[in-house]
Amino acid sequence: MSETFLFERLKTVSWQARELPKPIAIDELPTPALILDQAAMERNLEAMSRHVSAHHKGARPHAKTHKCVLIAQAQLRHGAVGICAAKVGEAAALILGGVDRVLITSPVTSPGKVQVLAELAKRASELLLVVDSSAGLELLCTYLPGDVRLGLVLDVDVEMGRTGARDADVAKRIVETARRDPRFWFAGVQHYAGHLQHIAGFDERKKRSLESWEKALHFARAACDALPPIVSGGGSGTYAIDVDVTAITDLQVGSYLFMDREYRDIESAHAKVFNEFEVSLTVACTAISAPLASLGAVSVNGGFKAFASDSGVPVPYDGAPGKFRFAGDEHGVFRVGEGAACPALGSVLRFVVPHCDPTVNLHDWYWVLEPDGLIRSVWPITARGMTW
């Protein structure tokens, strides 16, 4: 199977940190460079851990945000009950790196992926997979070996229309099979309303999220008779809302770790901006040309290959006035605000990324910034490109 080939190749990919020969400053980086402010990230981890603990919930953070074994290990050290992976490939990268409690949040309908799942289940202490269709269930029943134990999670959808069961008979069949077949155990229910995470107004976001959960739990109770041990879902945009849903056991938060411009633009519970977590992820770019210097603009060496562009444009990390526009694959143009000096050629500018998850997937390394302002190591983005 082609997935087995990819899995074998992944075994050769390193996940360990690499120390630099000597510490370097930000202006010495080979730009564009993805910078991880380790202290800010740790404070975000601590803040989320305190929040969920105070509400008697758990965190099951999503590795699709960071794709890094070292960060997943940090999340587990901060009390995460497990780690989410969007795809089998991401789960493989995590489990090969020793992260052994993983929930795969996308359904599987390919025989080759089931073969890899069987290998991963033998290496992990807990491997969970969402199922939302008869086809996916039948595939698992056909191809999963008898010596494997896999936890099944019923994925429920009420309005997003991406993944999740809506057919009550299908949902009951998934639950019944998981309880009957010795290769499975019925582990839980998942409900993710991604389309609600970036609703700008907090009150509207709260209303919509609580309504969505009410419908999802009504469906789940009908399918399961009684709710299973795990009821998982939510996200960074609704983390302060969903903890009030009694049935939820853990939150699948992701972007809280880094904070991108897309999340910073929405309201939090107490402010017009979502400032409850710090920006810990930036991209450093170098000013390389200034054909529009008379307009206060400088060209930098970061474009579509350095920033994901699905959610707009980057913004300056230091909050300085100015506007970025993409100028192709390799370039961007940054125009400073009125009265500000145009950056000198060779200067390094840092930007808050528009959307963290796909931006991370464009880079090989995190350049880890320490509190003294120096970078001494790089962390590999091990699951980069693991889109299978």
Which CATH number do you get for residue 187? 3.20.20.10
* Residue 385 within any structural domain of the chain: no
Which CATH number do you get for residue 332? 2.40.37.20
**Domain ranges, residue 298:** 2-17+276-380
Q: Are 377 and 84 in contact (CB under 8 A)?
A: no
Q: How many domains does the chain have?
A: 2
CA–CA separation, 216 and 192 (whole Å): 10
- Do 199 and 303 fall within a single domain? no
- Do 219 and 147 fall within a single domain? yes
Q: What is the residue-level pLDDT of the chain in tens, covering all 388 positions?
A: 699 999 999 999 999 999 999 999 999 999 999 999 999 999 999 999 999 999 999 999 999 999 999 999 999 999 999 999 999 999 999 999 999 999 999 999 999 999 999 999 999 999 999 999 999 999 999 999 999 999 999 999 999 999 999 999 999 999 999 999 999 999 999 999 999 999 999 999 999 999 999 999 999 999 999 999 999 999 999 999 999 999 999 999 999 999 999 999 999 999 999 999 999 999 999 999 999 999 999 999 999 999 999 999 999 998 889 999 999 999 999 999 988 899 999 999 999 999 999 999 999 999 999 999 999 999 999 999 999 9
Q: What is the DSSP string of 336-350?
A: EPTTPPPPPTT-EEE
- Do 335 and 195 fall within a single domain? no
**Measured between alpha carbons, how far is residue 41 from residues 1, 157, 297 in Å?**
39, 32, 32
pLDDT digits (tens, 9 = 90+) for 149-165: 999 999 999 999 999 99
- Do 202 and 313 fall within a single domain? no
Q: How many CB atoms lie within 10 A of CB 21?
A: 6
- Do 133 and 65 fall within a single domain? yes
Give the domain-ending residue among 258, 293, 324.
258
pLDDT digits (tens, 9 = 90+) for 313-372: 999 998 889 999 999 999 999 999 988 899 999 999 999 999 999 999 999 999 999 999
CA–CA separation, 353 and 283 (whole Å): 7
- Do 212 and 281 fall within a single domain? no
